[in-house]
Amino acid sequence: MSKKRVIVCDTIHQKGLEILSRCEDIEFVDASKEPKDKLLEMIGDFDVAITRSSTDVDEKFLEKAKNLKAVVRAGVGVDNVDIEGCSRKGIIVMNVPTANTIAAVELTMAHMLSAARSFPNANNDLKLNRVWKREKWYGVELKGKKLGIIGFGNIGSRVGRRALAFGMDVITYDPYIDPSKAIDMGVEYTTNFEDILQCDFITIHTPKTKETIDMIGKEEIAKMKEGVRLINCARGGLYNEDALYEGIKSGKVAYAGIDVFVKEPATDNKLLDLENISVTPHLGANTVESQEKIATQAVEQAISAARGISFPNALNLPIKEGEVPNFVKPYLELIQKIGYLAAQINKGYIKSVSIDAEGDVAEYLDPLKTFALVGALKESMGEKINYVNAEFVAKERDIDISTQKVINRSEYKNKIVLKLTTDKDAISIGGTIFGDTIEKIVSINKIKLDFKPKGNMLFFSNKDKPGVIAYISKTLSDNNINIADFRLGRDDHGEALAVVLTDEVVPKELLEELRSYENCIWVAIATL
């Protein structure tokens, strides 16, 4: 029996290489020192590749990877991996999402202490300039200060626990968790983002999604306390860098601690020109312990994948040919989009997800459930959710999951309906496939519709009275937003729903204006 072959494309901790060397059924090659052009020539001979940020798993890579079955990204981020391209080629993509948790938490605390006491500046003044000016470096104490934590997941919650030990008052904003997770720890929970902006220190720990990019911008900084201190050890771009630069330069932001940047390496970033900021070159995972954990977990995943035993933390576990009929596959993609759409419209802490299916597709409720959960949880978790961990995460969050085969009473041969209930509201979205692949949404909250789930969408629920269409059209026109398509539906109880496809995303300010219209029931935006 021939050995399975694993290639290590980037440098990992020696412990990982030692584990590979002890596997008698695995042949591995450490190609971390090879030039990238040579690596591309080698990759076609291997079953599994272990990569880090230095190797792009892109079109060129995949073109050469003729025999590759799996890619293990030794770390959390998969920005340099073409997941869709891998999926098309049947290559499973895995990452190592929790190995660097403590390292990231402790780096956040280091930046928080630096922001409070200007340690890097004081160190440089004495060590490099040989200046002894104690009065220049007055800081503030953490004790008694209010810390706002945006995102209270694995890392944010641990930062909160450590901040409490420093005697800080801690408040968190995270609409996607059960509030009791924070409250039981002694952390205040808020649903009002403005509460975070009034804190003395603010740290952010969210995935990078369309909702969180530029989450802190010019308007948010303007609402903050004078002398606020900001920390970002999560993802570059969660703070708008131009707004952050101006905030620090003006003195509104007394100090910032930044480990991540929009463009890396960030050697020419203008933030580096400012004095009252401490910066590190993306060191969130850079501890000996973290690197060892990342390497050992990545190698163990690679070995399991090579042996075909399991694919831990798979981000794109493909459907094996023969397991489901071809007609079902478009419905799996559709139910995932519906889940994502529902979570964008009905934002909040998800309490339950239910799926009704009618027709032949109802025989495949288990895969429908998995794909639906991936879509529903993507809005809050971004790249952290995948087809392997979706049900586990849902159970961990006490999300009630149910599926039901229903009698086919609709005009469609097959139909799927997903109902998503949050702490705010509930929404039900139905869809079907026309022909072999044309995806259509055919109902929202029992109002019949007909539109493709694609692009920028504005949803406007209203009392069924004259003038609403004209109001929506004029408001968008006045704000220079072009309408690509306009779909309408109504029920028998005096309510109507407009789905407006626009060329660009409707801004939040305009959303508030639409919401204030006298006939508006609810309004939301979504992008697919």
User: Cβ atoms within 10 A of the Cβ of 242, count?
Assistant: 14
Amino acid at 184: D
pLDDT at 363: 93
448 Cβ contact partners less than 8 Å away, ≥ 6 residues apart: 442, 489
79 pLDDT band (50/70/90 cuts)? confident
Quote the longest CA-to-CA distance of the chain.
83
Cα–Cα distance between 445 and 154 in angstroms, integer? 34
Angstrom CA distances, 448 to 90, 92, 388, stand at: 37, 38, 34
Q: What proportion of the chain, given as a percentage, has pLDDT over 90?
A: 81
Q: What is the pLDDT of residue 88?
A: 76
Taking only the tens place, the pLDDT of each residue in 25-64 is 999 999 999 999 999 999 999 999 999 988 999 999 999 9
Q: What confidence tens digit (pLDDT) does each residue in 457-470 have?
A: 999 999 999 999 99
Instruction: Quote the pLDDT of residue 381.
Output: 85
How many Cβ atoms from other residues are within 10 Å of residue 151's Cβ?
Answer: 24
Q: What are phi and psi of 64, to 5 degrees?
A: -85, -20
Residue 426: beta bridge partners? 421
Mean model confidence pLDDT for the chain: 93
Residue 47 DSSP label: S
**In the block, residue with structure tokens 């802190």:** 216
pLDDT at 318: 56
Interval 475-503 mean pLDDT: 95
At residue 368 the predicted structure's pLDDT band, cuts being 50, 70 and 90, is very high
Count Cβ atoms within 10 A of the Cβ of residue 99 and give its class: 0-12 exposed, 13-18 middle, 19 or more buried. Answer: buried
Reported as a single tens digit per residue, the pLDDT across 378-437 is 888 876 787 777 888 898 889 999 999 998 877 899 999 999 999 999 999 999 999 878
DSSP 176-206: TS-THHHHTTT-EEES-HHHHHTSSEEEE--
What b-and-e string marks burial along 323-337, b requiring 16 or more CB atoms within 10 Å of the CB? ebeeebbbbbebbbb
Show the DSSP H helices in 97-183 as ranges: 101-117, 119-127, 154-165, 180-183
Residue 322 has pLDDT above 70, yes or no: no
DSSP secondary-structure letter at 318?
A: P
Q: Angle CA(93)–CA(95)–CA(100) in degrees, nearest 5?
A: 170
The larger pLDDT score, comparing residue 328 to residue 203, is at: 203
Residue 408: the pLDDT is: 82
Q: Supply 136's token pair.
A: 């220049």
Q: Which residue, among 382, 313, 392, 378, has the nearest Cα to 95 in the 3D structure?
A: 313
CA distances from 61 to 44, 45, 84, 133 (A): 9, 13, 13, 55
Residues facing residue 138 across a β-bridge: none
Domains and CATH numbers, the chain: 4-98+289-307 (3.40.50.720), 101-279 (3.40.50.720), 321-452 (3.30.1330.90), 455-528 (3.30.70.260)
Q: How far is residue 88's CA from residue 85's CA, in Å, rounded to a whole number?
A: 5
Q: Report whether pLDDT(121) > 80.
A: yes
Which residue in 211, 235, 217, 210 sits closest to 79, CA to CA? 235
> Mind giving me the DSSP string for 258-311?
E---SSSS-TT-GGGG-SSEEE-SS-TT-SHHHHHHHHHHHHHHHHHHHHTS--
Which amino acid, 122?
A
| pLDDT tens digits for range 17-27 | 999 999 999 99
pTM over 0.85: no
Model confidence band, residue 326 (pLDDT cutoffs 50, 70, 90)? confident
Q: Going by C-beta distance under 8 Å and a sequence separation of 6 or more, which residues neighbour residue 246?
A: 218, 221
Measured CA to CA, the distance from residue 310 to residue 16 in angstroms comes to 18
Whether omega for the bond prior to residue 312 falls within 30 degrees of 0, making it cis, is: no
Q: In this predicted model, what pLDDT tens digit does every residue of 219-278 receive, in sequence order?
A: 999 999 999 999 999 999 999 999 999 999 999 999 999 999 999 899 999 999 999 999
What 3-state class would DSSP assign to 438?
strand
Q: How far apart are CA 309 and CA 94, in angstroms?
A: 14
pLDDT at position 383: 67
Distance from chain centroid for Cα 95: 14
Rounded to an integer, the average pLDDT of 141-155 is 96
Confidence grade of residue 308 (pLDDT, cut at 50, 70, 90): confident
DSSP states of 480-518: T--EEEEEEEE-SSSEEEEEEEESSPPPHHHHHHHHTST
- CA–CA separation, 275 and 259 (whole Å): 16
Return the pLDDT at 387: 77
Active site residues: 235, 264, 282
Using DSSP bridges, classify how beta strands 438-444 and 520-527 pair: parallel, antiparallel or unpaired: unpaired
Q: What six digits make up the tokens of 310?
A: 């399991």
Radius of gyration of the chain measured on its C-alpha atoms: 25
**For the chain, what's the residue count?**
528
